[in-house]
Amino acid sequence: MKRTPISFLSSALRVFDLSIGEMLWSRRTIFMALVVAGPVLIAAITRGVASLGPVMQVNGTRIAGATIFGLMIWVFYLRFTVPVLGVFYGTSLIADEVDDKTITYLFTRPVPRGAVLFGKYLAYLVCTIFVVLPSVVLVYLLVVPIGGTLAQSFVPLLTDLGLLALGLAVYGALFAFIGAEMKRPLLTGLMFVIGWEPAAMLFPGYLRRFTVAYYLQALVPHAMPQDSATSLIQAMFRQAPPIGASLAWLFVFWLGFLYLAARAVERREYVLEQ
């Protein structure tokens, strides 16, 4: 009897179905929960403090809730949560299967190898988006009403949600490629996020064009905080590319790295250490 081959998409959805629960209830999720619960806790404390007096002040300066919200998006989500989750989850999509020596079982199934990566990538995206974005919404509901109205920050909130989802997608694709191609992907990923991106963003010139942060930061609807010498230098030399160009480049990175990652998985022979 001849068996009809399963299509790429339905194979990917099968892998997604299998991986989502595995990914969501792993030890790594505890780290993710801590990362996203931190800002919510800080927002709740800020709201509590603000309810004690009519005006929220930090170091004698009056700060409105919308400003605090913008600051939290920059500091907690854009500069930390999105790239770090991208590294930890993206690099592990294939590397974990190699480390656990379970990749053989996946590759012996009658599904395209690229679909395995694509299904796992979809699981990563759903998992992170469904944890990070509700946290942003909770921060918005808690912080923005301090000295302001929810209406004034609603459009920036939509922009924030969109750019954070796009950031998770692009960083995930980039690190999925690194995870599929390189031997020590976590180390490489961390070097990229902690070393390369902040360093390249500091210098004027074209180097910053080889970072994801450069294009992602151009979409942020809030003023860049100047909370450190590094931020001040970044703000001074900041050249925000046009929004259209940023979006176009982010989509190119996303699709490009996802394709390269799938191609790497298709071609590479994974030798399992005994």
Partner 1 sequence: MTTRTRYFLFGSAGILVAGLCTGLLAYYGGFPTVASTAYGPAELSYVPADADVVAYANVREVMTSELRARLKQVMPEHGQGQNEFEQKTGLNIESDVDHVVACVAPSASDRNGGMVLVRGRFDQVRLETLARQEGGVVEEYRGRRLIRTTHGSHGDTSAMLGFMEPGLAVFGDSATVKRAIDTHVGGGKNVTSNDALMTLMREMASGSNAWAIGRFDAIAKRANLPDNVSRQIPPLHWFAASGHVNGGISGMLRAEARDEQAAENLRDVLRGFVALIKLQSSAKPELQAMLQSIELGGTGKTVAISFSIPSAVIDALPRPKHPAG
- The three-state secondary structure class of 57 is strand
Would you call 23 helix, strand, or coil by DSSP?
helix
Q: Does 20 bind partner 1 (CB under 8 A)?
A: yes
143 vs 155: CA distance, rounded Å? 15
What's the closest the beta carbon of residue 40 comes to partner 1, in angstroms?
11
**52 contributes a contact to partner 1 by CB under 8 A:** no
Query: What are the counts of helices (DSSP H) followed by strands (DSSP E) for the chain?
Result: 13, 2
Asked if 24 touches partner 1 (CB under 8 A), the answer is yes
Residue of 1, 4, 52, 59 interacting with partner 1 (CB under 8 A): 59
Q: Does 10 bind partner 1 (CB under 8 A)?
A: no
| Interface residue with partner 1, options 148, 198, 241, 256 (CB under 8 A) | 148
Among residues 223, 245, 248, 252, the one that binds partner 1 under rule CB under 8 A: 223
Q: How far is CA 255 from the centre of its chain?
A: 15
In 3D space, the residue among 163, 85, 181, 183 whose CA is nearest the CA of residue 127 turns out to be 85
Stretch that binds partner 1, among 76-84, 97-105, 151-159, 168-176 (CB under 8 A): 151-159
Residue closest to 121 by CA, chosen among 173, 70, 170, 158: 173
- Taking CB under 8 A as the criterion, the residue among 30, 33, 104, 134 binding partner 1 is 134
Check binding of 236 to partner 1 (CB under 8 A): yes
Which of the stretches 57-65, 87-95, 106-114, 189-197 binds partner 1 when contact is defined by CB under 8 A? Answer: 57-65
**Token pair of 60, please?**
């004698």
Q: Which two tokens stand for residue 91?
A: 């690099």
Q: DSSP state, 62?
A: E
Q: Which of 12, 15, 43, 56 binds partner 1 (CB under 8 A)?
A: 56
Residue 22 backbone dihedrals phi, psi, to 5 degrees:
-60, -45
Region near partner 1 per CB under 8 A, out of 147-155, 179-187, 190-198, 258-266: 147-155
Nearest to residue 143, comparing CAs of 79, 53, 49? Answer: 49
Does the protein bind partner 1 through residue 79 (CB under 8 A)? Answer: no
The stretch among 78-86, 127-135, 172-180, 199-207 that binds partner 1 (CB under 8 A) is: 127-135
Among positions 118, 140, 175, 254, the unique one binding partner 1 when judged by CB under 8 A: 140
Three-state DSSP at 159 gives: helix
Q: Does 131 bind partner 1 (CB under 8 A)?
A: yes
Give DSSP secondary structure letters for 219-273: T--SPPP--SHHHHHHHHT--PPPHHHHHHHHHHHHHHHHHHHHHHHHH---PPP
- Burial group, residue 205, by CB count within 10 angstroms (0-12, 13-18, 19+): exposed
Smallest gap from Cβ 4 to partner 1, in A, equals 24
Q: Count residues binding partner 1 (CB under 8 A).
A: 46
φ/ψ of 3, rounded to 5, equals -95, 130
85 binds partner 1 (CB under 8 A): no
Q: Is 147 in the site for partner 1 (CB under 8 A)?
A: yes
Classify residue 176 as left (phi > 0), alpha (psi -120 to 50) or beta: alpha
Query: What residues make contact with partner 1 under the rule CB under 8 A?
Result: 17, 20-21, 24-25, 54-56, 59-62, 64, 67, 70, 126, 130-131, 133-134, 137-138, 140-141, 147-155, 157-158, 220-226, 232, 235-236, 238
